[in-house]
Amino acid sequence: MPKAPRIEEILDVEDEENELPKEVLTDLGDIQNDLEEVAKQQEKREQALAREFDVKKQPIWKRRNDLLKTVPEFWLKCFENHPCLQAMIIEEDKDALKFLESMEYTLSEKGDVVTFHFKTNPYFTNPQLKKFVREDEDGNIQAESTKIEWKAGKSLIKTGSDKGAKRDAASIEESFFTWFDCEKYGEGELMEIFSDLNTDPLPAFLGEIDEEGIMMADDDDDEEDDEDDEDE
Protein backbone atom coordinates (compact mmCIF):
# COMPACT_ATOMS: atom_id res chain seq x y z
CA MET A 1 0.00 0.00 0.00
CA PRO A 2 1.46 3.41 -0.97
CA LYS A 3 2.51 5.55 1.96
CA ALA A 4 0.10 8.41 2.61
CA PRO A 5 1.58 11.89 2.15
CA ARG A 6 2.30 13.84 5.31
CA ILE A 7 0.42 17.06 6.05
CA GLU A 8 3.59 19.05 5.40
CA GLU A 9 3.74 17.61 1.89
CA ILE A 10 0.08 18.40 1.24
CA LEU A 11 0.66 22.03 2.16
CA ASP A 12 3.06 22.40 -0.74
CA VAL A 13 0.69 20.89 -3.30
CA GLU A 14 -1.87 23.01 -5.10
CA ASP A 15 -4.89 20.91 -5.97
CA GLU A 16 -7.89 22.93 -7.07
CA GLU A 17 -10.14 19.86 -7.12
CA ASN A 18 -9.41 18.98 -3.46
CA GLU A 19 -8.59 22.44 -2.19
CA LEU A 20 -8.70 23.18 1.53
CA PRO A 21 -7.79 26.41 3.27
CA LYS A 22 -4.18 26.34 4.38
CA GLU A 23 -5.18 27.22 7.93
CA VAL A 24 -7.34 24.08 8.01
CA LEU A 25 -4.45 21.96 6.75
CA THR A 26 -2.17 23.57 9.34
CA ASP A 27 -4.63 22.75 12.13
CA LEU A 28 -4.93 19.20 10.81
CA GLY A 29 -1.15 18.90 10.94
CA ASP A 30 -1.14 20.01 14.58
CA ILE A 31 -3.90 17.53 15.41
CA GLN A 32 -2.02 14.72 13.68
CA ASN A 33 1.12 15.54 15.65
CA ASP A 34 -0.90 15.38 18.88
CA LEU A 35 -2.32 11.99 17.87
CA GLU A 36 1.15 10.67 17.10
CA GLU A 37 2.37 11.83 20.51
CA VAL A 38 -0.47 10.00 22.25
CA ALA A 39 0.28 6.92 20.12
CA LYS A 40 3.88 6.98 21.37
CA GLN A 41 2.63 7.10 24.95
CA GLN A 42 0.28 4.21 24.22
CA GLU A 43 3.14 2.17 22.76
CA LYS A 44 5.25 2.73 25.87
CA ARG A 45 2.36 1.64 28.11
CA GLU A 46 1.79 -1.47 25.99
CA GLN A 47 5.48 -2.38 26.13
CA ALA A 48 5.50 -1.98 29.92
CA LEU A 49 2.40 -4.18 30.18
CA ALA A 50 3.97 -6.82 27.91
CA ARG A 51 7.08 -6.89 30.10
CA GLU A 52 4.90 -7.31 33.18
CA PHE A 53 3.13 -10.32 31.68
CA ASP A 54 6.39 -11.81 30.41
CA VAL A 55 7.37 -12.16 34.06
CA LYS A 56 4.11 -14.02 34.76
CA LYS A 57 4.74 -16.32 31.79
CA GLN A 58 8.20 -17.37 33.00
CA PRO A 59 7.06 -20.38 35.10
CA ILE A 60 4.79 -21.53 32.26
CA TRP A 61 7.62 -21.29 29.73
CA LYS A 62 9.79 -23.29 32.13
CA ARG A 63 7.18 -26.05 32.25
CA ARG A 64 7.04 -26.10 28.46
CA ASN A 65 10.83 -26.08 28.09
CA ASP A 66 11.19 -28.94 30.58
CA LEU A 67 8.70 -30.95 28.55
CA LEU A 68 10.31 -30.15 25.19
CA LYS A 69 13.71 -31.23 26.49
CA THR A 70 12.35 -34.78 26.43
CA VAL A 71 11.81 -34.52 22.65
CA PRO A 72 15.09 -35.25 20.78
CA GLU A 73 16.29 -32.36 18.60
CA PHE A 74 12.99 -30.50 18.96
CA TRP A 75 14.32 -27.05 18.11
CA LEU A 76 16.51 -28.27 15.26
CA LYS A 77 13.41 -29.79 13.67
CA CYS A 78 11.58 -26.48 14.12
CA PHE A 79 14.38 -24.78 12.17
CA GLU A 80 14.42 -27.46 9.47
CA ASN A 81 10.64 -27.41 9.01
CA HIS A 82 10.22 -23.61 9.00
CA PRO A 83 10.54 -22.28 5.40
CA CYS A 84 12.14 -19.00 6.51
CA LEU A 85 14.60 -20.58 8.95
CA GLN A 86 15.67 -23.60 6.91
CA ALA A 87 17.28 -21.20 4.43
CA MET A 88 19.42 -19.82 7.27
CA ILE A 89 21.04 -23.10 8.27
CA ILE A 90 23.66 -25.12 6.47
CA GLU A 91 24.67 -28.72 6.98
CA GLU A 92 27.47 -27.84 9.42
CA ASP A 93 25.01 -25.85 11.59
CA LYS A 94 22.70 -28.77 12.16
CA ASP A 95 25.00 -30.66 14.49
CA ALA A 96 25.47 -27.54 16.64
CA LEU A 97 21.72 -26.86 16.71
CA LYS A 98 21.14 -30.36 18.09
CA PHE A 99 22.44 -28.92 21.37
CA LEU A 100 19.82 -26.13 21.42
CA GLU A 101 17.59 -27.11 24.34
CA SER A 102 15.33 -24.07 24.71
CA MET A 103 14.65 -20.57 23.47
CA GLU A 104 12.68 -17.59 24.76
CA TYR A 105 11.57 -14.25 23.40
CA THR A 106 10.98 -11.44 25.88
CA LEU A 107 10.69 -7.66 26.10
CA SER A 108 13.03 -5.64 28.27
CA GLU A 109 14.00 -2.01 28.76
CA LYS A 110 16.77 -2.75 26.28
CA GLY A 111 14.33 -3.91 23.61
CA ASP A 112 13.17 -7.22 22.18
CA VAL A 113 15.39 -10.09 23.33
CA VAL A 114 15.69 -13.60 21.94
CA THR A 115 17.73 -16.04 24.01
CA PHE A 116 18.93 -19.47 22.91
CA HIS A 117 20.00 -21.91 25.64
CA PHE A 118 22.53 -24.54 24.59
CA LYS A 119 23.71 -27.68 26.31
CA THR A 120 27.45 -28.18 26.64
CA ASN A 121 28.65 -28.78 23.10
CA PRO A 122 31.87 -29.21 21.10
CA TYR A 123 31.46 -25.91 19.21
CA PHE A 124 31.35 -22.95 21.61
CA THR A 125 31.53 -22.28 25.34
CA ASN A 126 28.54 -19.91 25.64
CA PRO A 127 25.64 -21.47 27.57
CA GLN A 128 23.41 -18.80 26.03
CA LEU A 129 23.36 -16.79 22.83
CA LYS A 130 21.30 -13.58 22.90
CA LYS A 131 20.30 -10.85 20.52
CA PHE A 132 18.72 -7.52 21.50
CA VAL A 133 16.90 -5.36 18.96
CA ARG A 134 15.31 -1.98 19.70
CA GLU A 135 14.03 1.05 17.81
CA ASP A 136 15.19 4.44 19.08
CA GLU A 137 13.09 7.61 19.14
CA ASP A 138 14.26 8.51 15.62
CA GLY A 139 13.09 5.17 14.24
CA ASN A 140 16.60 3.74 13.84
CA ILE A 141 17.06 0.03 14.57
CA GLN A 142 19.82 -0.84 17.03
CA ALA A 143 21.05 -4.36 17.71
CA GLU A 144 23.41 -6.05 20.14
CA SER A 145 24.28 -9.71 20.41
CA THR A 146 26.41 -12.21 22.25
CA LYS A 147 29.91 -12.73 20.95
CA ILE A 148 30.22 -16.43 20.20
CA GLU A 149 33.22 -17.96 21.98
CA TRP A 150 34.18 -20.68 19.53
CA LYS A 151 36.29 -23.58 20.71
CA ALA A 152 39.62 -24.04 18.95
CA GLY A 153 39.10 -25.11 15.35
CA LYS A 154 35.32 -25.39 15.77
CA SER A 155 34.07 -22.10 14.37
CA LEU A 156 31.28 -22.63 11.88
CA ILE A 157 31.85 -19.15 10.45
CA LYS A 158 34.63 -19.63 7.95
CA THR A 159 35.79 -17.79 4.86
CA GLY A 160 37.33 -19.21 1.75
CA SER A 161 40.76 -18.19 3.06
CA ASP A 162 40.39 -20.35 6.19
CA LYS A 163 42.44 -23.50 6.10
CA GLY A 164 40.18 -26.43 5.44
CA ALA A 165 37.10 -24.28 4.89
CA LYS A 166 34.24 -26.18 3.30
CA ARG A 167 32.60 -23.13 1.74
CA ASP A 168 33.69 -19.84 0.26
CA ALA A 169 33.04 -16.33 1.53
CA ALA A 170 30.00 -15.96 -0.71
CA SER A 171 28.17 -18.70 1.18
CA ILE A 172 29.16 -17.68 4.70
CA GLU A 173 25.88 -15.82 5.25
CA GLU A 174 23.99 -19.09 4.92
CA SER A 175 25.11 -20.06 8.42
CA PHE A 176 22.59 -19.39 11.14
CA PHE A 177 25.36 -18.29 13.50
CA THR A 178 26.27 -15.30 11.33
CA TRP A 179 22.92 -13.86 12.46
CA PHE A 180 24.65 -12.88 15.71
CA ASP A 181 26.95 -10.57 13.73
CA CYS A 182 25.12 -7.25 14.11
CA GLU A 183 27.23 -5.60 11.42
CA LYS A 184 25.76 -8.00 8.87
CA TYR A 185 22.38 -8.55 10.50
CA GLY A 186 21.58 -5.38 12.42
CA GLU A 187 18.02 -4.73 11.30
CA GLY A 188 16.32 -7.34 13.45
CA GLU A 189 15.78 -9.90 10.71
CA LEU A 190 14.02 -13.03 12.00
CA MET A 191 12.95 -11.44 15.31
CA GLU A 192 9.26 -11.71 14.41
CA ILE A 193 9.75 -15.35 13.46
CA PHE A 194 11.37 -16.12 16.80
CA SER A 195 8.58 -14.26 18.58
CA ASP A 196 6.06 -16.52 16.83
CA LEU A 197 8.12 -19.59 17.70
CA ASN A 198 8.17 -18.58 21.33
CA THR A 199 4.39 -18.11 21.31
CA ASP A 200 3.76 -21.57 19.85
CA PRO A 201 6.60 -23.70 18.43
CA LEU A 202 4.43 -26.71 17.58
CA PRO A 203 3.32 -25.59 14.07
CA ALA A 204 6.97 -25.19 13.03
CA PHE A 205 7.89 -28.58 14.49
CA LEU A 206 5.00 -30.20 12.59
CA GLY A 207 5.84 -28.37 9.35
CA GLU A 208 2.60 -26.39 9.35
CA ILE A 209 4.18 -23.05 8.37
CA ASP A 210 3.86 -21.82 4.78
CA GLU A 211 6.57 -20.13 2.71
CA GLU A 212 5.59 -16.70 4.04
CA GLY A 213 6.02 -17.85 7.63
CA ILE A 214 2.27 -18.10 8.30
CA MET A 215 0.63 -21.09 9.95
CA MET A 216 -1.34 -23.07 7.39
CA ALA A 217 -5.07 -23.45 7.97
CA ASP A 218 -6.30 -26.80 9.21
CA ASP A 219 -8.42 -28.72 6.67
CA ASP A 220 -11.12 -29.32 9.28
CA ASP A 221 -11.31 -25.58 9.94
CA ASP A 222 -11.67 -24.95 6.20
CA GLU A 223 -14.52 -27.45 6.00
CA GLU A 224 -16.28 -25.80 8.95
CA ASP A 225 -15.90 -22.40 7.33
CA ASP A 226 -17.35 -23.73 4.09
CA GLU A 227 -20.31 -25.20 5.97
CA ASP A 228 -20.91 -21.88 7.74
CA ASP A 229 -20.89 -20.10 4.38
CA GLU A 230 -23.42 -22.55 2.98
CA ASP A 231 -25.70 -22.08 6.01
CA GLU A 232 -25.68 -18.33 5.44
Q: What are phi and psi of 69, to 5 degrees?
A: -65, -20
List the one residue out of 232, 145, 151, 220 whose CA is nearest residue 183. 145
Strand ranges inside 32-169, DSSP E: 100-108, 111-118, 128-135, 141-145
In CATH, which superfamily holds the domain spanning 72-211? Nucleosome assembly protein (3.30.1120.90)
Q: What is the CA radius of gyration of the chain?
A: 23
List the one residue out of 207, 213, 169 whose CA is nearest residue 191. 213
pLDDT at 4: 52
Listed range (59-63, 125-129, 162-166) with the worst mean pLDDT: 162-166
Helix and strand totals (H; E) in the chain:
8, 4
Cβ-contact 85, 78 below 8 angstroms? yes
**How far is Cα 89 from Cα 190, in angstroms, rounded to an integer?**
13
- Max CA-CA distance within the chain? 72
Tens-digit pLDDT profile for residues 93-146: 999 999 999 999 998 877 899 999 999 999 999 999 999 998 887 778 889 999
Tens-digit pLDDT profile for residues 173-231: 468 999 998 887 777 778 999 999 999 999 999 999 887 667 665 655 555 555 555 56
